[in-house]
Amino acid sequence: MVVGGAVLGALSYQSLGHPSLSSPSWGASPIVGAPPGLAAPLGGQGDPSGVLGLADGAVPDGVTVFDEVPAVANLDPALLGALRRAASDAGGDGVQLHVNSGWRSRAYQAQLLREAISEYGYEEEAARWVSTPDTSLHVSGDAIDIGGAGATWLSDRGAGYGLCQIYDNEPWHFELRLDAVDHGCPDRYADPTQDPRMQP
């Protein structure tokens, strides 16, 4: 318990400085798309402790949009195609599109939501960062979180591939908007609570 608290504290400190640059590791993963400091342990499939792992959408360090882990492979094919086209061009600029989070199982999304509620103490604040399994676009495979320089590159050039940032508070979160290729990305919502798709 003390070790877990120390790890969570260290992750909180690191992610407060650069929340969009945090990337998961196998020991304790910052929840991308969640407030800084929230962490989820990632174990292997079939772990007797019930800890969720790679098969549920956990993403180890260094994964790109070209890797075949479930978090990438289970994305909507049109979204994945656009991401890979963008990543090929970004590579020419010396930038890789590293995946912090992609597709997630319902169980993994539910775990992230429980942890966000625990962190904030009430559902309304947690909803600014983590959607329910029923509304999450990560669960449906229609959203991806990109870290570091890749998020900056996509922010500047993503519309040309139909890849748009959706929320002001989550600059790492991208979704496919095919109209953006010709018309640019739509206005962003302040956070997911302003998105009509997230309403019960």
Give the side-chain half-sphere CA count within 13 A for 56. Answer: 21
Smallest CA-to-CA distance from 131 within 110, 103, 145, 115 is with: 110
So what's the pLDDT on residue 93? Answer: 97
Residue-level pLDDT at 200: 73
Neighbour tally for 195: CB within 10 Å? 16
Q: Which two tokens stand for residue 159?
A: 């519309």
Question: Is 171 among the domain residues?
Answer: yes
Distance from C-alpha of 114 to C-alpha of 120, rounded to nearest angstrom? 10
The total domain count for the chain is 1
- Across-strand partners of 73? none
pLDDT digits (tens, 9 = 90+) for 87-102: 999 999 999 999 999 9
Between 82 and 10, the higher pLDDT residue = 82
Does 133 reside within a domain?
Answer: yes
pLDDT band of 149, cuts 50, 70, 90:
very high
pLDDT digits (tens, 9 = 90+) for 99-129: 999 999 999 999 999 999 999 999 999 999 9
The pLDDT score that the predictor gives to residue 107 is 96
Task: Answer yes or no: is pLDDT of 9 > 70.
Answer: no
Residue 34: pLDDT above 60? no
**Host domain of residue 108:** 2-44+59-198
Give me the residues paired with residue 176 across strands. Answer: 163
| Position 51 in a domain | no
**DSSP β-ladder status, 144-147 and 98-101:** antiparallel
Residue 50 binned pLDDT confidence (cut-offs 50, 70, 90): low
Q: For residue 17, what pLDDT is reported? A: 30
Asked, for residue 54, whether it belongs to a domain, the answer is: no
pLDDT > 70 fraction of the chain, expressed in percent and rounded: 75
Is 49 a member of any domain?
Answer: no
Q: Can you tell me whether residue 188 is helix, strand or coil? A: coil
pLDDT at site 52: 83
Establish if 50 belongs to a structural domain: no
CA atoms 117, 38, 153, 171: torsion sign: positive
Considering the domain boundaries, does residue 176 fall inside one? yes
Q: Is residue 125 part of a domain?
A: yes
- Cβ–Cβ < 8 Å for 185, 178: no
Q: What is the CATH number of the domain that holds 101?
A: 3.30.1380.10
Tell me the pTM. Answer: 0.77
Query: What mean pLDDT is reported for the chain?
Result: 81
pLDDT top residue among 22 and 125: 125
For residues 52-60, give the mean pLDDT.
Answer: 94
Residue 82: name the closest of 185, 140, 149, 158 by CA: 158
